[in-house]
Amino acid sequence: MTLSPSTPTGTAEAGPGDFPSIATAGVDAFLIRFGHRLTEPANRAALAFRAAAEAQDWPGVRELSTALTSVLLRFDLRATDHATLRAQLQALLASRDWQAAALPEGRRLWQVPAVFGTDLAPQLDEAAALAGLSPAQAVAELTAAPLRVQTIGFAPGQPYLGQLPPAWNIPRQAGLTPRVPEGALTVAIRQVVLFSVASPTGWRHVGQTALRLFDPARAEPFLLRPGDGVLFRPVDREGLEAARAGPGPEARPWR
């Protein structure tokens, strides 16, 4: 299971010098891409460009959403047309170096208690060994600094976080773990995925949180937004149960 920059059906994969690019996606959307693979600058560009495009308030735009390295813009053909909107997109793309752009304002930093290893997250030792680390070193790296929410996908409210140091470029499993629980912290390919629902997965389960990432009863059903930061804090089983019984994690502004 992974998200990757999508290539519109029938188009060739772009080369390194072909970004940013604009492609039509169906009859009422454009896909603006900033890279053919995930990098920090390409993800930064997608997040920054989406925020800037939203601020334009162009007539007819119905939706702007980000994947790992791209932005999807959907529009209403009754309010605008392809040529007009493409020209607006091209002008905005040309206005700055998006890979060096500032990240959007309003991002939040969440401190999240997590149990690493034990029977609650049984694949820590295996993942650490693949990364060439001891379990203690692995936990230290996973909790050393905030990880950016690069995108939300696969399931409602489910974040992809990264990037981890290069040692964490470990493959997904050849088979599937039949089920990881809600709040599972899993790793592969220099990313962390927190599961918003119980699910099978090929990612290795190295930590367990008490996060409720998706709650349709909340005013904002998704807890995390693209661009937010998550800083994991190691706790024991009792600490996890206290977090589960409490009001949930708190966030502060993240610069």
Query: Per-residue confidence of the chain (255 residues) as pLDDT tens digits?
Result: 334 333 333 334 445 568 999 999 999 999 999 999 999 999 999 999 999 999 999 999 999 999 999 999 999 999 999 999 999 999 999 999 999 999 999 999 999 999 999 999 999 999 999 999 999 999 999 999 999 999 999 999 999 999 999 999 999 999 999 999 999 999 999 999 999 999 999 999 999 999 999 999 999 999 999 999 999 999 999 999 999 999 888 899 998
Domain co-membership, 188 together with 92: no
**What's the pLDDT at 247?**
87
Residue at 57 is within a domain: yes
Note whether 155 and 178 are within 8 A (CB).
no
**What's the pLDDT at 248?**
85
CA–CA dist 40, 27 (Å, integer):
31
What is the count of structural domains for the chain?
2
Residue at 4 is within a domain: no
Domain limits for position 65 = 16-100
The pair of structure tokens assigned to 227 is: 């661009």
Write out the DSSP string of 182-227. Answer: TTEEEEETTEEEE-SS-EEESSEEEEEE----B-TTSSSSBS--TT
CA–CA dist 37, 141 (Å, integer):
23
Q: Is the pTM of this model over 0.75?
A: yes
Q: Which residues of 193-215 are buried (b: 16+ CB within 10 A; e: fewer)?
A: bbbbbebebebbbbbbbbbebbe
Residue at 148 is within a domain: yes
